[in-house]
Homo-oligomer: A and B are copies of this chain.
Amino acid sequence: MTTLQEAVPADLLALDAHDPLAHKRAEFLLPEGLIYLDGNSLGALPAHVPARLAQVAGQQWGEQLIRSWTGGTEEGRDWMTLPDRVAAKIARLIGAQPHQVAVGDSTSVNLFKLLSAALALNPGRRVILTDADNFPTDLYVAQGLNALLDGRYELRRVATNELAAALSDEVAVLLLTQVDYRSGARHDLAAMTRSAQAHGILTVWDLAHSAGAFEVELDAAGADFALGCGYKFLNGGPGAPSFLYVAERHLEAAPVYLSGWMGHADPFEMARDYAPAPGARRFVVGTPSILNLAALDAALEVFEGVDMQQVRAKSLALSRTFIGWMQPLTLRFPLHLLTPLDEDRRGSQVAYRHPQASEVMRRLTLAGVIGDFRTPDILRFGLTPLYLSHAEMWRAVQVIRQVLEAGV
C-alpha cells in the first residue's frame, strides 16, 4: 500500500468535507488503504450484499426450496418477479418506465436481442453503423448475428469523429456505446439519437459505462433501444445480469427472437406456442440467475434516494481533480491524456496512453492503486462517485508519480 508522508491539500479536503455523497462510502466494503479506480470494470462490493446472498442461498433456496419461485413478495422470496423488481430500480437510473426495462442474461446476449429486433423494424436497409472503437463484444455480436442472417448486412465501422457524416438512409441501425471504454469520451446521446432518427435510423445504445455513473434520460432523449451492464457502476457483482430498454413505441412491434419460457405471457401454462409477456418482460428468456440477480437487487439499494445529477457533478469534480494533479506528470513522462477536456464529452473515467502502460499498471496495483490496462498502451482509471474522494484522487496521483519516477 501507499507510504505517503505528504498531506492532502486543504482544498481537496474541503471538497470532500462538503461532498453530499460522502456518506455513501460506508455502504461499500473496500480494503483499507486501497485506492480502487476500477469500478468501471467491476464495481466494489456493497456492504449488505453478502448478507442478502446468505439469506437467498440459506433460507430461500435451502429451506423454502421450490416454493421461492412463487412465494409472496411480502416474504421477500418471489423469484418469478425478481427480474421485474430489479428492472424497476434500474429504470429510474436510466430515465425509463419500469415496464420498458428487462433484466437478465449478459450484455452480449441482450445486444443480440435488441439488434435483431431493431434490424427487423427497419427492413430494406442493410447497414449496421458503429464506432470502429466500440467495445469488441458489441462488434462480435453484430458479426455473429449478421452471419446467422447470411451476411446480408454490412457492419460499417467508422472512426468516432466520422460517425455523424456516416449517418445516411442506407443505415438500419446505429449501434454505439455511449462512453468509449478506452478513452472515456462520451457521446451526446440525445443529439446523436436525433441525428440518426432524422435519417430514419434506429439507435441501439450500450450504456455499459453510463448507467449508475451519471444521469441517463432515455425516454426524454427519444432513444429506441438501449442495454447495459450490471457489474460496473451498478455494482452488481462479477457477471451481474445485464439490462435492456425498449422505447414505448417499439414495445409491441419489436420481435423477440430469443424467446424463452420466462418471457412468455404465462410460463406455467406450458403452452405449446410462444406468446410474449406484456412489456419488456418478454425479453427475459430462460430461468433467471437468482443469486446474481439478488446480489444486483441488493446492490441497487445504494442508489435509493441518490440524485443522479449529484453523482454526475461529483464524477466531473473527481476527474477535474485527477486530471489537474496529473497534468504536471504529463510534462515529465510520456503520458498522453486520452480523455476529452470538454466535460460534456467525458464519461466517468480518465485514460492516458503510456508506452509501458501494462507494466505501469502492474506496479500501480502492487502499490495499492488499482486501475486497468487496456491494450495496446492505455492506463484507465474509473472514477466511481459513490465511493471515491478527492483525497484519494490526490493520493493516487502521488503513487503514479512515485512509480513513474522509479522508472519502468
Contacts and interface: CB of A to CB of B under 8 A. Distances in A.
A140 B259 contact: yes
Given A239-B288, A260-B108, A287-B238, A58 B50 contact: yes
A334 B267 CA distance: 27
A44 B62 CA distance: 6
Given A137-B260, A242-B286, A287-B239, A106 B108 contact: no
A274 B140 contact: yes
Given A44-B65, A68-B238, A239-B293, A256 B136 contact: no
A345 interface: no
24 contacts: A38-B66, A45-B61, A45-B62, A53-B57, A57-B237, A57-B295, A60-B238, A66-B372, A67-B370, A106-B289, A107-B287, A108-B258, A108-B260, A108-B261, A109-B286, A136-B272, A137-B260, A137-B261, A140-B259, A140-B264, A140-B273, A144-B259, A144-B274, A289-B292
A49 interface: yes
A68 B34 CA distance: 15
B57 A286 contact: no
B65 A370 contact: yes
A270 interface: yes
Nearest to A62: B45
A370 B58 CA distance: 18
A273 B49 contact: no
A288 B375 CA distance: 21
Interface string A43-75: 011000110011001101111011111000000
A255 B147 contact: yes
A183 interface: no
Contacts of A38: 65-66
Contacts of A259: 140-141, 143-144
A148 interface: yes
Nearest to A256: B144
Contact of A144 (B257, B269, B270, B289): B257
A242 B285 CA distance: 13
A62 B68 CA distance: 27
B108 A290 contact: no
Interface in A102-149: 105-109, 112, 116, 132, 135-137, 139-141, 143-145, 147-149
Contacts of A258: 108-109, 112, 141, 144
B63 A42 contact: no
A261 B292 CA distance: 20
A274 B146 CA distance: 12
Contacts of A29: 58, 62
Interface of A: 29-31, 34, 36, 38, 41-42, 44-45, 49-50, 53-54, 57-58, 60-63, 65-69, 79, 105-109, 112, 116, 132, 135-137, 139-141, 143-145, 147-149, 157, 231, 237-242, 255-262, 264, 267-274, 285-293, 295, 365, 370, 372, 374-375
Contacts of A54: 50, 53-54
Contact of A105 (B30, B106, B147): B106
Contacts of A49: 57
Contact of A240 (B30, B285, B289): B289
Given A140-B273, A291-B291, 7 more contacts: A29-B58, A42-B66, A68-B238, A144-B259, A237-B290, A237-B291, A289-B291
* 8 tightest A-B CB contacts, nearest first: A106-B286, A108-B260, A144-B259, A108-B286, A238-B290, A137-B261, A45-B62, A140-B274
A63 B385 CA distance: 19
Contact of A66 (B60, B269, B370, B375): B370
